[in-house]
Each structure stands twice: as C-alpha cells, then as structure tokens.
Amino acid sequence: MKNFALILSCEKYSFKRERQDISQLPMDFRYFVGNPDLTCSEEDGKIVYLPCRDEYEYLTKKTLLAFKWIRENLGFFDHILKTDDDVTFIKEKIEDMLINIYENNIDYAGILHKGGYRSRHHFGKCSDERMNSVLMPVPDVTYCIGGAYWVSMKGQKILSSIGDYKPYFSIYEDACIGNILVSNGIEATKINIKEAMRWPEL
C-alpha cells in the first residue's frame, strides 16, 4: 500500500506545523502553503509553496493545487489523507483504518456532513472583511468534513485535473471537494476517523 498525507498549512500560523507530531503519521507527507508571489510551485524540504493566496477563502484553490502538485511530482497514491496542521495522529489506528478502506474499496471517506444551507462558519476567518458578514452557501451534497478525509486514486485523478472549479465552488474547501467528487460519481463514506485522528473542533 502506498499512501500519502496532504497537510494544509499557512505562514500566518506556521507554529502549528512546527509543533505537530509527525512521528505518528505512518506515511510520507508534505505541508502545503500558499504564496501569491510565485508563478509556479516551489518545494522546500517537506513544505510545498503553491502559487495562490494563503488566506481562508483560498483553501479550495490551495487544496486543488496540492492534489495537482502531488500528481505531477510524486504520482498517484492508493490513498491520500487530506488533513490539517493541527491534527493529532494515532499510528496504529490509522493503519487499521487503511486496511478497512482497502478491503471495502472505499474512494472517499471521513466524518460526513450534509450541505444544502447557508453558513456563517467563515465569519472572522476571511481576509476580505465583506465576506465575514455574509452567509455563504454550502453545496447540497453529503461530504467529508475537512479536518481529515481519505481520497482514493480514482478521486485523485479527478481532483488533480480540475482546471475550472467554479461550477463546484464553495468557500468551504471540504464542501467544494465533496461537491466535485459527488458530481463525478464518487459518494462520501462514513468511517470512524475520530479513533485515528483528532483535531481541536472535535
């Protein structure tokens, strides 16, 4: 089994990745950070700087660029764990979860959430103050919440080739990724990810 972890990070809160315990992550990984001054991606050790802005409202673009970078530089993996730099990992539980995912041919899995409403979850997080007071739509799909979710090779091929994500767009990265996958025939599957990974919101 060949797996990889796509870990979203940002320069403003770089201390999070600096203190994250990666020793319990049983796979290779990269941190992905936005840098709008770049015209192409740059790799610096375990950090990949992507040519996009680094703020909350650009997480969707950052995530899709990260999937594209992985495809172009490392190839496809059996499964990619998309996660964040404030997540705590439990190695043995992750390995058990991966066995379950393989045995059941799961393409997209995590903690499920149903969209189809307007949300204020982004309030106080956006660099554009106008957005911090406007409810934003969440696509009417069931998706995996963004702290940690798995994407198979089938899903990676879709996400890494998205040139125009506006038809699927949501300010919420996890909902947008879910919308892309569901719209391309990949349904979200519920798994007990809380046993293997924890993040502050849980």
Q: Would you state the pLDDT for residue 163?
A: 84
- Counting Cα atoms < 13 Å in the Cβ hemisphere of 173 gives 22
Beta bridge partners of 103: none
Region 162-182: mean pLDDT is 95
SS3 letters across the chain: CCEEEEEECCCCCHHHHHHCCHHHCCCEEEEEEECCCCCCCEEECCEEEECCCCCHHHHHHHHHHHHHHHHHHCCCCCEEEEEECCCEECHHHHHHHHHHHHHCCCCEEEEEEECCEEECCCCCCCCCHHHHHCCEEECCCEEEEEEEEEEEHHHHHHHCCCCCCHHHCCCCHHHHHHHHHHHCCCCCEECCHHHCEECCCC
Report the chain's mean pLDDT, rounded to a whole number.
95
Which of residues 48 and 194 earns the better pLDDT score?
Answer: 48
What percent of the chain has pLDDT above 70?
99
- Taking 90 as the threshold, does the pLDDT of residue 202 lie above it? no
- Taking 80 as the threshold, does the pLDDT of residue 201 lie above it? no
Tokens of 98: 């991966």
Model confidence over 10-39: pLDDT tens digits? 999 999 999 999 999 999 999 999 999 999
Region 151-155: mean pLDDT is 98
Q: Would you state the pLDDT for residue 1?
A: 86
pTM of the model: 0.96
Model confidence over 39-93: pLDDT tens digits? 999 999 999 999 999 999 999 999 999 999 999 999 999 999 999 999 999 999 9
